[in-house]
Amino acid sequence: MPDEYRTVPREGSHETEVNRSRFVCTLAPAGTEQEAQEFVARVRRAHADANHNCFAYVIGADAAVQKAGDDGEPGGTAGVPMLQMLLRRDMRYVAAVVTRYFGGVKLGAGGLIRAYGGAVGEALDTVGTVTRRRFRLVTVTVDHQRAGRLQNDLRTAGHEVRDVRYAEAVVLTVALPDTGVPDFRAWLAAATAGAARLELGGEAYGEA
């Protein structure tokens, strides 16, 4: 899995004009392929009067799912350049729809490729992107007496506490960079005089 990827923080759109044709690119974060497909369908309904609603989406931190569609434009002139722009920008978990309102001037294959890819690039610049980094989740188990101070120490040291559960002992879930686990283990032992128990969990992504 990659150490980081980029995505869009919210849904947004940007419009450009090329030789009297309007190109409206709408972007949205999409956690699954189904979410991406539902977003594409929703934008198509909203722009049902347009000549074309072409799409591209990338799902998975490793870009495992990549789909694109030309919606009536000549094959490979719309969806593929849109997809290539998303991949070039290291975008993941994102869907893009470029809506074209034809202005009467044919652009040719090269013009279409530039227009569709460019519409996505400009929309990414306008909407903005966020970077998400891969973290290792660890659980720290400590007695109630030490828990309050440990939580303060964790936050003071810049460690991200994702969850706190209270039972017979207190269990804290902390997000760490993979390479930071050995240093954290040593820091925890010193901070709690060896009284805390550390267990490695799975991996997750969070904002950098």
Query: Are 118 and 197 within one domain?
Result: no
pLDDT tens, residue by residue, 56-108: 999 998 999 999 999 999 999 999 999 999 999 999 999 999 999 998 888 99
Q: State the CATH number of the domain containing residue 166.
A: 3.30.70.240
- Domain closes at, from 95, 128, 161: 128
State how far the Cα of 160 lies from the Cα of 139, in Å rounded to an integer.
12
pLDDT tens, residue by residue, 95-150: 999 999 998 888 999 999 999 999 999 999 999 999 988 888 899 999 998 898 99
Q: What average pLDDT does the segment 169-195 reach?
A: 88
Q: What is the pLDDT of residue 181?
A: 87
What residues contact residue 36 under an 8 Å CB cut-off, 6+ apart? 30, 57, 59, 67, 95
Query: Are 138 and 104 within one domain?
Result: no
State the total domains in the chain. 2
State how far the Cα of 52 lies from the Cα of 110, in Å rounded to an integer.
17
CB 97 within 8 A of CB 30: no
CB 129 within 8 A of CB 154: no
pLDDT tens, residue by residue, 2-46: 778 999 999 999 999 999 899 999 999 999 999 999 999 999 999
State how far the Cα of 60 lies from the Cα of 92, in Å rounded to an integer.
6
Q: Is the pLDDT of residue 208 over 60?
A: no
Domain range for 50: 4-128
Closest CA to 109 of 76, 79, 82: 76
